[in-house]
Amino acid sequence: MAAVKETVGREGSGRAALARPALVLNEREASWVNDAVCSVVEQPAPFWWWLAVIAFGLLAGAVPLVVVYFISTGLGVWGLQSPVFWGIAILNFVFWIEIGHAGTLISAILLFTRQRWRNSVNRAAEAMTIFAVLCAAVFPLFHIGRQWMFWYMVPVPESYAVWQNFRGPLLWDEFAVGTYFTVSCLFWYFGLLPDIASLRDRTTKLWKKRLYHVLCWGWTGSVRVWHHYEAGYLCIAGVVSVLVISVASVVSTDFATTLVPGWHTTIFPPDFITGAIFSGFAMIVTLLVPLRAAYPRLKDMITPKHLDNMAKVLLATGSLVGYSYLIELFMAWYGANPFERYTFLNRITGPDRFTYFAMFGFNVILPQIFWFRRCRSHPWILWTASVLINVGMWFERYSIIVVSLERDFLPSSWRHYLPTWVDWGLFFGSVGLFFFLFLLFLRVLPALSIAEIKTLLGKPERKRHLETATKESAPNPGEQIYGLGAEFSSEEELRQASEETRKKGYVWWDAYAPYPIHGMERAMQLSKSRVSFFVLMGGLLGLVTGIAMVTATSIPRPQFLESFTTGQLQGLFYATVVQGKPYFSLPAFVPVLLELTILFAAFTAFLAVVLLSRLPRPYHPVWNWGELARRATNDGFFLVIEARDPLFSPTESRQFLESLGGRQITMISR
């Protein structure tokens, strides 16, 4: 008997060790999620927020001051001197752009790898992405020297009949970062729609209600809209996953396509991606740990499990970054090219060797503490490590960029690079700007994705307690009836009711829910959303546009066009030889083509969702039912049968809804 008991205990403990921890703690309800997340926005700002926002705001103020100073004086006030023409300006650009990557990664790639814990952290991460890209954009924008000529980089037809060199990595950068910024904003905003609707339904001030109403395009919570919305979200996430990989890769090609020793290495694209994920996750931890300390209610949604997972990601990516360092080192030796060998020797033993050791120590050795559960689960150990990792990643870029350039092929021109106060001012200003923007974001929009967290709440059968008393609210005579609504106490009940309603033969009816419910498509027999088709078409359109633009502006004018086209059209052809590359250099065109495909596909996805679900909806009769208007974005599950349905009859439909278990059955006036 004892042996049996022991095995049972062993079995039980083993299963307990393998059990999936809850992603929202303490059995929270949907309405609690609304309260907890929205209260961050709605309640007056705490004292620390004012303190922090003033401090970082002042720091961010350095950016315009420094910018005005060096634009009026000239770029000579930067520390750039031959041979280091790419100093910490490009370093900071790479630093920030890569921090942004974790946001998109969490939103998109973790969505596909079914990591549901992402639902609680993706919003903050996406916001962080946008701010990081903004900070990144500061540097190349001002580095070009003549900022008023920035538009030269944009392909404008007939602009002095000069075209960009689409084979150049810096132009790829512009396309990649531009696409990244716009698509990230779009994705972020798209995810925000239902949550802005939540804010709208909670607020009591009319101007705010109107503003939120416009911002969420008149979101109703209709399941038919959710159907398209989910398909659109998946599609945008799909293209964004490609985007996040392409952007880091394109940034890496700024270096890897050159012949500078230490830069020209094939592992750079994936290396930059792992570095991006690494530094981005470190930054998210840097933001989230204080956030959950400041708002303890959020700890139920950003649980120790989340921190544990993020620490594991840091360990994995840190080790992958270490793999890249080691393999670069090995190949520099194995390749037996004296310049390569010297560059790495210089990184390790040269005057800037501490940057190499800082990079190795903070990025590779430090994350190894996350092999231990204690370090993963302790928020402040995790936080400290994350801050140091960001420092390490900054030094990685220093070691790659500056240390490689300081000693070029001509020893007489070697020079030690020293950033001036202007460089530092711009960098620390960008740090201030980043945190300043994030703090503002906290007070303006929901920092956690309300609708997505609700899908983590647990058993779909869980019932809300509803008042059983149905209010006999007969519509006033003369008022037109829109339909008959009923509330259901759980996701599961709504699904069954929808199935019954469809089987009964009703056509004009809809269900309303605060979050997408799994299996509703089957219950309502909604046909597969056509969003993905539109996205494919949009992507193809982008690809074709890209091919046309890039090819025409790179090849000589074809003879056969001359007979039947105008000189204007012929002027588009602009053949230049750059670096001895062929006119039609397909490998060098791929980045631009890819970015345009993604750009078009993402915008089509957004438009397709909006149009297919007829979204800009200034007014909808269901809002005349106060209960629905208040709670459809909170914790209510509603079903509304419209009066125009051929089967509709006020009494029979009411009986039917009652038989399904609907409560608070109400006539909704038009």
Residues forming the site for other proteins (CB under 8 A): 10-11, 13-15, 17-18, 20, 112, 114, 242, 245, 249, 253, 256-259, 264-270, 319, 323-324, 327-328, 331, 333-337, 371, 518, 579-580, 587-588, 590
Least distance from other proteins to the Cβ atom of residue 279, Å:
20
Say how far apart CA 438 and CA 431 lie, in whole Å: 11
Least distance from other proteins to the Cβ atom of residue 328, Å:
6
Say how far apart CA 280 and CA 314 lie, in whole Å: 9
Under DSSP, is residue 638 helix (H, G, I), strand (E, B) or coil? strand
Query: Which residue lies nearer to other proteins by CB, 518 or 614?
Result: 518
Query: Which residue lies nearer to other proteins by CB, 7 or 147?
Result: 7
Say how far apart CA 385 and CA 650 lie, in whole Å: 64
Query: Which residue lies nearer to other proteins by CB, 309 or 430?
Result: 309
Least distance from other proteins to the Cβ atom of residue 388, Å:
22
- How many Å is the maximal CA-CA distance in the chain? 98
Under DSSP, is residue 74 helix (H, G, I), strand (E, B) or coil? coil
Nearest to 265 by CA among 167, 344, 318: 344
User: What 8-state DSSP symbol labels residue 660?
Assistant: T
Least distance from other proteins to the Cβ atom of residue 2, Å:
17
Using alpha carbons only, give the angle 235, 213, 603 rounded to the nearest 5 degrees. Answer: 25
Least distance from other proteins to the Cβ atom of residue 429, Å:
34
Using alpha carbons only, give the angle 444, 448, 454 rounded to the nearest 5 degrees. Answer: 130
Least distance from other proteins to the Cβ atom of residue 172, Å:
11
Say how far apart CA 77 and CA 256 lie, in whole Å: 28
Q: Which residue has the tokens 């503490």?
A: 369
Instruction: Look up residue 494 and give its amino acid.
Output: L
Query: Which residue lies nearer to other proteins by CB, 236 or 486?
Result: 236
Residue 571 vs residues 168, 544, 558, 562, 626: alpha-carbon distances, Å: 21, 20, 11, 11, 62
Using alpha carbons only, give the angle 373, 315, 458 rounded to the nearest 5 degrees. Answer: 60
Query: Which residue lies nearer to other proteins by CB, 215 or 331?
Result: 331
Query: Which residue lies nearer to other proteins by CB, 128 or 608?
Result: 608
Q: Are 603 and 191 in contact, with CB atoms under 8 Å apart?
A: no
Rg over alpha carbons for the chain, rounded to the nearest Å, is: 29
User: What 8-state DSSP symbol labels residue 559?
Assistant: G
Query: Which residue lies nearer to other proteins by CB, 1 or 17?
Result: 17
Burial label for 650, CB within 10 Å (0-12, 13-18, 19+), is middle
Query: Which residue lies nearer to other proteins by CB, 387 or 544?
Result: 544
Which residues have C-beta within 8 Å of that of residue 117, sequence separation ≥ 6?
23, 305, 306, 309
Nearest to 593 by CA among 535, 543, 552, 549: 543
Query: Which residue lies nearer to other proteins by CB, 380 or 584?
Result: 584
Backbone angles phi, psi at 485, to 5 degrees: -115, 155
Burial label for 596, CB within 10 Å (0-12, 13-18, 19+), is buried
Which residues have C-beta within 8 Å of that of residue 668, sequence separation ≥ 6?
481, 482, 483, 484, 485, 621, 622, 624, 625, 628, 640
Least distance from other proteins to the Cβ atom of residue 168, Å:
10
**Would you tell me how many other CB atoms lie within 10 Å of the CB of residue 69?**
13
Query: Which residue lies nearer to other proteins by CB, 119 or 666?
Result: 119
Least distance from other proteins to the Cβ atom of residue 406, Å:
21
Query: Which residue lies nearer to other proteins by CB, 261 or 636?
Result: 261
Query: Which residue lies nearer to other proteins by CB, 107 or 324?
Result: 324
Least distance from other proteins to the Cβ atom of residue 171, Å:
14
SS3 for 469-512, per residue?
A: CCCCCCCCCCCCEEEEEEEECCHHHHHHHHHHHHHHCCCCEEEE
Least distance from other proteins to the Cβ atom of residue 269, Å:
4
Least distance from other proteins to the Cβ atom of residue 331, Å:
5
Least distance from other proteins to the Cβ atom of residue 591, Å:
9
Q: Which residue has the tokens 């509330």?
A: 487
Query: Which residue lies nearer to other proteins by CB, 32 or 323?
Result: 323
Residue 266 vs residues 7, 249, 328: alpha-carbon distances, Å: 53, 11, 9
User: What 8-state DSSP symbol labels residue 160?
Assistant: T
Least distance from other proteins to the Cβ atom of residue 533, Å:
10
Query: Which residue lies nearer to other proteins by CB, 269 or 475?
Result: 269
Least distance from other proteins to the Cβ atom of residue 85, Å:
20
Query: Which residue lies nearer to other proteins by CB, 396 or 423?
Result: 396
User: What 8-state DSSP symbol labels residue 460?
Assistant: T
Least distance from other proteins to the Cβ atom of residue 323, Å:
7
Backbone angles phi, psi at 486, to 5 degrees: -140, 150
